[in-house]
Amino acid sequence: MSLKNILLRTINQKNKYINLAATAVKINQEQYNHRDQNNKYKKTVATALFSSVLIGTVLAEKSKNNKKELKENNEENTCGAGEKRPDLPTYRAEEISKHNSKKSFWVTYKNGVYDVTSFLPSHPGGDQIMNAGGYSIEPFWNVYGMHKTKEIYALLESYRIGNLHEDDMVDLSDEELWVKEPIRDKRLIVKTSKPFNAEIPAKLQVAHFDTPNELFYVRQHMPVPELDSSEHRVRVTIKNGQTVTREFSLQQLDQFPRTAVRAALMCAGNRRSEMNEQVKPVKGISWQGGAISNAVWEGVLLIDVLKACGLEDTSTAGKHVIFTGSDIDATGVNFSTSIPLEQALNPKNRILLATHMNGAVLPPDHGYPLRVIVPGAPAVRSVKWLESITISKDESSSHWHQKDYRSFNASKTWETADFASAPPIYSLPVTSAICDPAHGDTVTAKNGVVEIRGYAYSGGGAKILRVDISPDCGKTWVQAEEMQSDDAPPQQHYAWTLWTARIPVSKGQKELELWAKATDSNFNTQPERFNDIWNIRGVLSNAYHRIKVQIKH
């Protein structure tokens, strides 16, 4: 089917996006239709596919006005990209559609036509860009809204070759995709609105050991799916010679012993903004320290469900558990990632299929009605809106698993980094942050002492043993006195630690630079600076946290 036909149909049909998706990227119909309850949702999802690897730095962290910035960068400021250019020739959609190969690769944006052939080799997402060949990038970018930065619009415009014929213009606005999004707490600091990504303000992090659900940071890759708990099923597939498949309703899952795990979830990109600012730009949501929160998760143990499905302890070596969510991208592909099966089968890892969060039913933003919780792992492995669990000899083939959440040394570029040979991030290094006061605050010294509070966390079940604060750029260190942590057994410390330190200040002192570093039960500590842990994706950004405050006596 030619692009022209697709475009014509797109104009004429109300469920235009999904048809385009099904045709353009030839998705597996079986997979596509397997869940009736999702169809309604799927029909509202756009057809964009663009590697999530290229999630741009949305916000220049320098500016203080978050809301203004969002509007500027994310929603409105396109730097004039796609406006009519009378100086350039006009092309028909049919002509454009022919330029969909590596030899000649055109895309459109609003009125603009762009020859991006020479850009293809530099595209971080590799061949996934091919799905947009000869067509508009708008529906793709509508789902991956993070592309909508000044820099990327300017880059696009630099490839401009002409204008799209007016008769071939299509309304590709994205409103339909996002109308069902949950209502969110106004105190969250929004980093991107479509998809919704927002951090918890630092001072609210240390206000509760278990973060209230409405303040828990939110990390979405796509629109939030609308699911019905009474109809929801999770399908377990074990390929072991013959394939065994079983489906569980939530009621059926409830037959397994219920248990609770207190665990922090942290995005692998938490504190990325510091790496951005202190070294050089990286790609990804520019999180400050607010992409971590703590909760008590309740549900059933994954290991119990797998064993009930006949999984045996033998022949597990080298296999993987693939978790798939109901959130789908523009091509109809569900979000998916995996963890090693042997990690999943270690009872001490306490991996849950969770239905509740801090005593309440999971909110839609956190995976209602069912999600995985992989304690001690980066939050991306704790797949939300869980609809399938597959034991496989291969890792998840999704681009979220294959092309993201991996790390490289500081010298690797997008050109030299080899995602295939880089191991996925299945655990997180020790980190800490000062939450109260914030950088730039004025604090009051009481009896010559300034009190500061923050969090510390380490992945893989490691406990935080110590947090040390330097008030003089490393000359001396003051150990935090109060440490609030979980009471879990050794190697199963999945919650964060909240700490309080009392820093002596001298009488006339007006300014104070504070450095924080934590030590975990493997006695790993944080690196001093971000320089040598810098990486193209800005993940694992765990160097000392440094702030400056003014002192009032």
DSSP alpha helices (H): ranges in 297-412? Answer: 302-308, 341-345, 399-402
Minimum Å gap between C-beta 456 and its own copies is: 14
Dihedrals phi, psi of 400, to nearest 5 degrees: -65, -35
Minimum Å gap between C-beta 191 and its own copies is: 23
CB 314 within 8 A of CB 342: no
In 3D space, the residue among 247, 387, 393 whose CA is nearest the CA of residue 319 turns out to be: 393
Gap between the Cα atoms of 15 and 11, Å rounded: 10
Number of residues in contact with its own copies under rule CB under 8 A: 48
Residue 411 as a binder of its own copies (CB under 8 A): the answer is yes
Of the candidates 32, 91, 144, 219, the residue annotated as catalytic is 219
Candidates 182, 310, 448, 474; binder of its own copies (CB under 8 A) is: 474
Candidates 186, 423, 507, 511; binder of its own copies (CB under 8 A) is: 423
Site for its own copies in 130-149 (CB under 8 A): none
CB 142 within 8 A of CB 174: yes
Spatial CB neighbours of 38, under 8 Å, sequence gap ≥ 6: 225, 326, 328, 387
Question: How many CB atoms are closer than 10 A to CB 26?
Answer: 9
147 catalytic residue (yes or no)? yes
* Residue 378-407 contact track with its own copies, rule CB under 8 A, x = bound: -----------------------------x
Of the candidates 35, 41, 99, 147, the residue annotated as catalytic is 147
Spatial CB neighbours of 254, under 8 Å, sequence gap ≥ 6: 300
Candidates 52, 128, 343, 396; binder of its own copies (CB under 8 A) is: 343
Residue 426 as a binder of its own copies (CB under 8 A): the answer is yes
- Binding segment for its own copies among 2-10, 17-25, 212-220, 477-485 (CB under 8 A)? 477-485
Minimum Å gap between C-beta 396 and its own copies is: 16
- Binding segment for its own copies among 34-42, 194-202, 342-350, 361-369 (CB under 8 A)? 342-350
- Binding segment for its own copies among 82-90, 224-232, 382-390, 487-495 (CB under 8 A)? 487-495
Neighbouring-strand partners of residue 545: 516
Of the candidates 17, 217, 267, 356, the residue annotated as catalytic is 267
Candidates 101, 409, 442, 506; binder of its own copies (CB under 8 A) is: 409
Specify the 3-state DSSP secondary structure of 519.
strand
CB 327 within 8 A of CB 223: yes
Candidates 190, 234, 465, 514; binder of its own copies (CB under 8 A) is: 465
**DSSP secondary structure, 242-263, as one string:** EEEEEEEEHHHHTTSPEEEEEE
Residue whose pair of structure tokens reads 């499905």 in the numeric block? 309
Our measurement of the distance from residue 72's CA atom to the centroid of its chain's CA atoms, rounded to an integer in Å, reads 22
In 3D space, the residue among 348, 256, 349 whose CA is nearest the CA of residue 309 turns out to be: 256
Gap between the Cα atoms of 177 and 184, Å rounded: 17
Specify the 3-state DSSP secondary structure of 266.
strand
Which lies closer to its own copies via its Cβ, residue 383 or residue 417? 417
- Binding segment for its own copies among 94-102, 133-141, 432-440, 484-492 (CB under 8 A)? 484-492
Spatial CB neighbours of 275, under 8 Å, sequence gap ≥ 6: 282, 530, 533, 534, 538, 541, 543
Token representation of residue 273:
């903004």
Which lies closer to its own copies via its Cβ, residue 59 or residue 518? 518
Residue 15 as a binder of its own copies (CB under 8 A): the answer is no
Residue 274 as a binder of its own copies (CB under 8 A): the answer is no
Residue whose pair of structure tokens reads 């609809």 in the numeric block? 387
Which lies closer to its own copies via its Cβ, residue 30 or residue 487? 487
Minimum Å gap between C-beta 424 and its own copies is: 10
Candidates 126, 281, 340, 363; binder of its own copies (CB under 8 A) is: 340
Which lies closer to its own copies via its Cβ, residue 129 or residue 266? 266
Question: What one-letter code names the amino acid at 344?
Answer: A
Candidates 238, 275, 425, 516; binder of its own copies (CB under 8 A) is: 425
Candidates 489, 504, 510, 552; binder of its own copies (CB under 8 A) is: 489
DSSP alpha helices (H): ranges in 113-227? Answer: 138-143, 150-157, 175-178, 202-205
123 catalytic residue (yes or no)? yes
Q: How many CA atoms lie within 13 A of 315 on its CB side?
A: 10
Distances (CA, A) of 28 to 22, 129, 237, 333: 8, 19, 18, 9
Which lies closer to its own copies via its Cβ, residue 173 or residue 479? 479
Which lies closer to its own copies via its Cβ, residue 285 or residue 321? 321
Which lies closer to its own copies via its Cβ, residue 240 or residue 521? 521
405 catalytic residue (yes or no)? yes
Gap between the Cα atoms of 279 and 94, Å rounded: 46
Specify the 3-state DSSP secondary structure of 415.
coil
Minimum Å gap between C-beta 408 and its own copies is: 8
- Binding segment for its own copies among 50-58, 204-212, 232-240, 422-430 (CB under 8 A)? 422-430
Rg (CA), the chain: 24
Q: Which helix (H) or strand (E) holds 41?
A: helix 36-43
Which lies closer to its own copies via its Cβ, residue 370 or residue 425? 425
Residue 321 as a binder of its own copies (CB under 8 A): the answer is no
Site for its own copies in 508-547 (CB under 8 A): 517, 519, 521-529, 531-533, 540
Gap between the Cα atoms of 331 and 311, Å rounded: 32
Residue 462 as a binder of its own copies (CB under 8 A): the answer is yes
Which lies closer to its own copies via its Cβ, residue 116 or residue 512? 512
Would you tell me which residues interact with its own copies (CB under 8 A)? 317, 340, 342-343, 346, 348, 407, 409-411, 423, 425-430, 458-460, 462, 465-466, 468, 470, 474, 476-479, 489-491, 517, 519, 521-529, 531-533, 540
Active site residues: 123, 147, 219, 267, 405
